[in-house]
Structure formats: structure tokens, C-alpha cells
Amino acid sequence: MSAQQMLKVYVTRRIPQEGMKLLQKAGICNLSVWDSDEPVPRAELLKGVAGAHGLLCLLSDKIDAEVLDAAGPNLKVISTLSVGFDHLAIDEIKKRGGWSTWKPLWLCSYGLSGSTVGVIGLGRIGLAIARRLKPFGVKRLLYTGRQPKPQAQEVDGEYVPLDTLVRESDFVVVSCSLTPDTQGLCDKTFFSKMKKTSVFINTSRGAVVNQEDLFGALSSGQIAAAGLDVTTPEPLPTDHPLLSLKNCVVLPHIGSATYSTRGVMSELTANNLLAGLTGSEMPSELKL
């Protein structure tokens, strides 16, 4: 198609590259883009849409009679990108004093569908995590530990060496016990083997992770993000470097924080106490 025959398309915001590549590859579009995450100013919108055959906008853009008149008779189609509503992070809301507009890539991260998840420690908790992940469309579930686990068949788990798990996983989930062998397991060397797009999750014990090395991996972009339910110490001091990162979510060890789970924990503790008082075998004894 000659340059004269190309169809003008005005895009009112910076959108994910997948959509832009489709428009470019089609070979029929003369693209004009407001290349910003912020809304296009009204004057720029009216100027940019003039003579357009197509308009790709966001739901939050005000497309009214004035815009249609500015576009003129060539306008054939308006396509809208939206996920539902305008939103903004709480800290940004406070900073700006109000709500702002939705942005196509705001708060985006990596999804589980089609991904490879690596579980370090496929014990009772690790297996429970794997069961919950399967319905999200995980493509491969890798695990490592002292030996293969027969119960891994239930979740189609693949037993692999630690290095393989770390290198190939999009999400690395640590659910192993804290032992002399696992203390400091996740260190600078460990993180250097992970994909730059991978996410690290620790629900085991804080001491399994070298937190200085984790901070270095996150702040340098060596890995994409981390989610921690456990730390050393607990809670972290409010000025700890990990708490300053936008790509690290730290929870105060709340993996068991449901009414039903805490109720079961209370019953277990009471039954242990009663058994000990009566000289019976404790049902959940910790044997050292």
C-alpha cells in the first residue's frame, strides 16, 4: 500500500507493544501516537484526531461530538482499551490529592498462565501450594529437595536439580524447612541464575534468604520482584532497605491468618497441653 493509501490511526496513549506491533505489521496504518502514560490534553486530542480513519483510545478519554467533528468524515472506527475503571496507587493518590487516570501498563506484572513454577521443598506446604497453582494454568511445575516425592505425580511435578529449577522457573517458591543445609540458600549466586523476569517468593523461614543479596538482586533488576511472608528479623525494622523497594511486597508472616486456621491452631495447642497434663502422647509433639 502506498503512503497516500495508508489509513491514519490516532492512538491516545502509550499502549502495550503487542497491540502496537499488530498495527505496524498490518501495513495499512499511518500511526500517530500520544506517547505518554498520562492522558492526552484536549487540544492535542482534537489536533491529533483530525483526518483520522481510526481512533484507538482509552475508556477514560472523553470522546464526544467535538472530537468526532474534529476527526471529520474519514473516521470509520473507534476501538477502546480498558479493564474497567480508573485507579491509582494509594501513595500516588495521597501525593496528587485525588484520583488519576488508568494506565495500560500500570501495576502490571507476570501471570501464572503458561508459566514454569519452581517449588523448593515439596513437603506438606509445598504440595498444598502446588495444588492451588494448577488451576491458574501453570505449564510446568518443577520441584527440588533431598529426593523425589511420590505425591508429586498429583500435580505433575518434575523433580530437577536446584540449578535447573532456578534457571528455568518464572516463579521460584521457597517452602522448605530451615536446616543447616538451607540456611542462606538463596544468596547472590542463587539470584544471579534466575531470569530477569522471574519472581521470588518465600513462605518458609527468613533465614533461608540472604536479605542483602535479595535487595541487591531486586534493586539492580537482576530479578523482577519478590514476595516475602517471612523475614529476619520479624517484623523488619521500618527503615530496612527491602521496605523501600517498589518491586518487593513484605507481609508480616500472615500465611495462617484466617479465622478457621487460627482456630485449628488453637485446638491443636490445647490438645497438646491436655495430653501433656494427663500423661498421654501429645497429638502434635515437636520432637527434638
Give the per-residue pLDDT at 95.
56
DSSP 8-class letter at 186 = B
Tens of pLDDT, residue by residue over 236-246, are 999 999 999 99
The residues, any chain, with a CB within 8 Å of residue 254's CB and separated by 6 or more, are 229
Distance between start and end Cα atoms, the chain: 78
Q: Which of 213, 179, 209, 200 is nearest to 247 (CA)?
A: 200
Q: Strand, coil or helix: what is 284?
A: coil
Q: Which of 127, 110, 149, 116 is nearest to 227 (CA)?
A: 110
Give the per-residue pLDDT at 84.
45
CA–CA dist 250, 288 (Å, integer)? 31
Tens of pLDDT, residue by residue over 41-51, are 999 999 999 99
Give the per-residue pLDDT at 97.
57
Q: Which is higher by pLDDT, 154 or 94?
A: 154
Give the per-residue pLDDT at 85.
40
DSSP 8-class letter at 70 = H
Give the per-residue pLDDT at 223.
98
Give the cell for residue 225: 520482584
DSSP 8-class letter at 129 = H
Residue 125 has pLDDT above 90, yes or no: yes
DSSP 8-class letter at 111 = -
> Do residues 104 and 15 lie in contact, with contact meaning Cβ atoms separated by under 8 Å?
yes
Residue 88 has pLDDT above 70, yes or no: no
Tens of pLDDT, residue by residue over 97-110, are 555 667 778 778 89
From the list 53, 87, 240, 253, the catalytic residue is 253
Backbone φ, ψ for residue 216 (5° rounding):
-60, -40
Give the per-residue pLDDT at 82.
66
CA–CA dist 230, 252 (Å, integer)? 7
Torsional sign, CA 244, 248, 249, 253: negative
Answer yes or no: 87 catalytic: no
CA–CA dist 70, 67 (Å, integer)? 5
Instruction: Locate the DSSP E strands across 15-133.
Output: 29-33, 54-58, 77-81, 116-120
Residues 199-212 have a mean pLDDT of: 96
Q: Strand, coil or helix: what is 215?
A: helix
Tens of pLDDT, residue by residue over 67-87, are 999 999 999 988 888 654 433
Give the per-residue pLDDT at 183.
96
The rounded percent of the chain whose pLDDT value lies above 70 is 91
* pLDDT interval class at 273 (50, 70, 90): confident
Residues 131-136 have a mean pLDDT of: 95
The residues, any chain, with a CB within 8 Å of residue 270's CB and separated by 6 or more, are none
Q: How many residues does the chain have?
A: 288
* pLDDT interval class at 12 (50, 70, 90): very high
Give the per-residue pLDDT at 4.
63
Mean pLDDT of the chain: 89
Residue 115 has pLDDT above 70, yes or no: yes
Instruction: Locate the DSSP E strands across 21-156.
Output: 29-33, 54-58, 77-81, 116-120, 140-144
> Do residues 263 and 236 lie in contact, with contact meaning Cβ atoms separated by under 8 Å?
no
